[in-house]
A and B are shown apart, each in its own frame.
Chain A
Amino acid sequence: MVLARSHGVHVWNPSLSGELLFIVSCDHLPTAGEANRQRVVLVVEDEVLIRYAITDHLRGASYTVVEARNAAEATAVFVSGAPVDIVFTDVHMPGEMDGVMLAQWINEHYPGIHVLVTSGRENAARLAGVIPGDSYFPKPYTPEEVETRIRSLLDS
């Protein structure tokens, strides 16, 4: 019988005599390797120079960065099992899925992964109600602003 469960620490009482015997399992606590792992940002942007400016800056800020040029590549990264902590995606990209559809796919299949969707202000109204308000990241932006927002989301 589980007596308490908090943050992945399970406390059992298997004793039939009434004595309290605690067996603690730490099954959800990060391993040493996971705890030291750099945060992983998936940047989804089809324009190579824009993508490089963002990814180069984020790598310099000690993030591990995975690059995808469109939603199909982004979903392939997730399906491969590669760890991703946060996604930064443009809306307009070639292919069947745009950035909004990608955000919805991630929320459905990988809930809990932060997704930032960037777009010009003319699309803000369209995105309202389709994606959470704190997921919208307006253009134009600097790589520093992207990093600040990512850091605040991951540290929260």
Chain B
Amino acid sequence: MLTPPNEPGFDNTSPAIFVADSDILARMVIADYLRDCGYTVVEGASAEDVLTVLNAARKIDIVLADIRLGKTDGFRLARQIRKNFLKVDVILTAGVAKAAEKAGDLCDDGPLEKPYQPQEIVRRINLLRERRRSARKS
């Protein structure tokens, strides 16, 4: 029933973004925007959702996660991703200034502070992809 990463029908070219937010309305808006921008988007509400998908070897390039995700927060999720999934970048979003500071060292370029413009996410995504491309060349 699931389409493994290397079978026909699985898109290996379109960047895949995992949008993790426990607020469904926020998640819907961002996910729809990113799909309209041409990204493949997977949605989830918890860190467990993210790790389930990553552990299933689904192609995910970037995880966009709110710091408030329930039992396992975005900080712990980011640490686990940086430790176990080296090819996956993380963008954290935070609604509180202090939390935003704490998120600063867990994701490049600091966290995205809410409220943010959707275009800012795309800018961050492009920045991360460019860094990956440059790292591969060097």
Contact A69 B45 (CB under 8 A): yes
CA distance A50 to B58 in the complex (A): 13
Chain B contact residues, majority secondary structure? mixed
Q: Which of A118-156 contact B (CB under 8 A)?
A: 140, 142-143
Q: Shortest beta-carbon distance, B117 to chain A, in Å?
A: 20
Contact B45 A142 (CB under 8 A): no
Q: Which residues of B contact A48 (CB under 8 A)?
A: 42, 44, 49, 52-53
Q: Give A142's nearest chain B residue, CB to CB.
A: B1
B2 within 8 A of partner (CB): yes
- What are 22 A-B pairs at a CB distance below 8 A? A48-B44, A48-B49, A48-B52, A48-B53, A49-B52, A49-B53, A52-B42, A52-B58, A53-B1, A53-B2, A53-B3, A55-B43, A66-B28, A67-B28, A67-B31, A67-B43, A69-B24, A69-B44, A73-B24, A80-B25, A82-B28, A140-B1
- With A48-B44, A49-B58, A59-B35 given, can you name 8 additional A-B contacts, CB distance below 8 Å? A48-B52, A50-B1, A52-B53, A60-B9, A67-B28, A67-B43, A69-B44, A82-B28
